[in-house]
């Protein structure tokens, strides 16, 4: 098995690389936009050119990159006709790709990924194809079978150009994920069995549940497990009975449906991180690595845009000023322990 990959997700361009390396972070996962404006091989999009320059800066700083290939789109919480928040779909793939789920779209996506593998050869060593496509917020109109076809099209394109790439996907671990685990590993294209999971925040349970999760995924796929995202929010109360009866979302009431141990506090986050690494160490022989979500706290929630919403603001190992939180030290210690155990 390859060296254990240790990293984090979506750090800001001005993140303190020295502080990251001190915590044992060697990898970052960074999004990749569609590289062309009108067709495969056409004019290079300005956003892609900027993204590529960012990759070069990270690589020059000694950080390895896992790219996240373009998603079909995303649903965000936005005010509806009555003013209440509604999930609204925003397509990310340009219309010239064709209808989402169509043969034309899949062929174009495969060609795009093949081009990306060539253009970013030696710069991006690993890929996450799409993001959480078993979850409606990211899958949009794609059903599970179409979403798997989307992932496999990306894998074919990447691997056809550069077989050395490490490629995979990141289901959320929900009920639909098991269709993905059954479908994606038939063709032998994926190098890791990915998983995104947020015990105690988005899901119930706690850090000890990583033991059973990793064991199960290894048993299902016989492929090294890579934790694309994990973490515990350091802010946010717990939903009231009234919230639950009303079917409230975290963005709607600014409270969590789940919690764990000391709760969503900086100290609770640090304890969660410590105990999660205990599970990773116990399952080290089945793992390829892990990426913590995320490096820094955020000023606003990307889902609803509110600064006081805990859904996407308080996951960081460092705060808004870049100062380490208690979880930073717990993560640093955990990486050291996991590396020592993995050898």
Q: What is the per-residue pLDDT across 1-56, written as a single tens digit (0 to 9) for each? A: 468 999 999 899 999 999 999 999 999 999 999 999 999 999 999 999 999 999 99
Report d(CA 228, CA 193) in Å as an integer. Answer: 10
Question: Distance of CA 147 to CAs 116, 185, 191, 337, Å?
Answer: 20, 14, 18, 37
- Quote the pLDDT of residue 83: 85
Let me know the angle formed at the C-alpha of 183 by 181 and 187, rounded to the nearest 5 degrees: 110
Report d(CA 258, CA 248) in Å as an integer. Answer: 13
Let me know the angle formed at the C-alpha of 75 by 71 and 79, rounded to the nearest 5 degrees: 155
Report d(CA 180, CA 223) in Å as an integer. Answer: 14
Domain boundaries, the chain: 5-342
- Quote the pLDDT of residue 1: 47
Element (H, E) at 137: helix 136-139
- Quote the pLDDT of residue 3: 84
Report d(CA 261, CA 342) in Å as an integer. Answer: 28
**Cβ(221)–Cβ(181) below 8 Å:** yes
If you classify domain 5-342 with CATH, what class do you get?
A: alpha beta
The verdict on whether omega for the bond into residue 13 sits within 30 degrees of 0, i.e. cis, is no
Report d(CA 228, CA 130) in Å as an integer. Answer: 12
Report d(CA 128, CA 192) in Å as an integer. Answer: 10
Element (H, E) at 64: strand 64-68
90: DSSP letter: E
Task: Name the nearest CA neighbour of 195 among 231, 170, 178.
Answer: 170
Sequential pLDDT tens for the chain (343 residues): 468 999 999 899 999 999 999 999 999 999 999 999 999 999 999 999 999 999 999 999 999 999 999 999 999 999 988 888 899 999 999 999 999 999 999 999 999 999 999 999 999 999 999 999 999 999 999 999 999 999 999 999 999 999 999 999 999 999 999 999 999 999 999 999 999 999 999 999 999 999 999 999 999 999 999 999 999 999 999 999 999 999 999 999 999 999 999 999 999 999 999 999 999 999 999 999 999 999 999 999 999 999 999 999 999 999 999 999 999 999 999 999 999 999 8
- Quote the pLDDT of residue 2: 62
pTM: 0.95
């Amino acid at each position: 098995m390859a060296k254990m990959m240790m990293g984090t997700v979506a750090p800001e361009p001005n993140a303190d690389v020295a502080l990251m390396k001190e915590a044992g972070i060697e990898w970052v996962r960074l999004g990749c936009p569609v590289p062309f404006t009108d067709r495969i091989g056409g004019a290079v999009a300005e956003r892609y050119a900027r993204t590529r320059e960012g990759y070069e800066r990270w690589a020059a700083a000694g950080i390895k990159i896992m790219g996240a290939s373009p998603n079909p789109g995303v649903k965000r919480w936005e005010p509806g006709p009555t003013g209440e928040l509604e999930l609204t779909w925003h397509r990310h793939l340009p219309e010239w790709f064709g209808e989402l789920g169509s043969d034309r779209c899949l062929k174009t996506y495969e060609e795009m990924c093949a081009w990306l593998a060539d253009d970013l050869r030696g710069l991006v060593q690993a890929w996450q194809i799409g993001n959480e496509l078993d979850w409606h917020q990211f899958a949009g109109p794609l059903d599970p079978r179409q979403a798997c076809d989307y992932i496999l099209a990306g894998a074919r394109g990447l691997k056809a150009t550069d077989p050395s790439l490490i490629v995979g996907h990141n289901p959320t671990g929900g009920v639909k994920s098991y269709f993905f685990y059954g479908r994606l590993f038939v063709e032998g294209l994926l190098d890791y069995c990915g998983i995104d999971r947020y015990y105690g925040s988005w899901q119930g349970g706690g850090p000890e549940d990583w033991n059973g999760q990793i064991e199960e995924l290894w048993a299902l796929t016989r492929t090294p497990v890579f934790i694309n995202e994990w973490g515990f929010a350091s802010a946010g109360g717990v939903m009231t009975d009234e919230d639950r009866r009303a079917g409230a979302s975290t963005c709607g009431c600014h409270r969590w449906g789940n919690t764990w141990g000391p709760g969503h506090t900086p100290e609770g986050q640090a304890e969660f991180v410590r105990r999660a690494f205990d599970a990773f160490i116990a399952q080290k022989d089945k793992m390829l690595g892990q990426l913590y979500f995320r490096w820094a706290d955020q000023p606003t929630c990307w889902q609803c845009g509110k600064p006081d919403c805990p859904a996407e603001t308080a996951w960081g190992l460092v705060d808004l000023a870049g100062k380490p939180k208690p979880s930073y030290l717990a993560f640093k210690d955990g990486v050291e322990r996991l590396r020592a155990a993995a050898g």
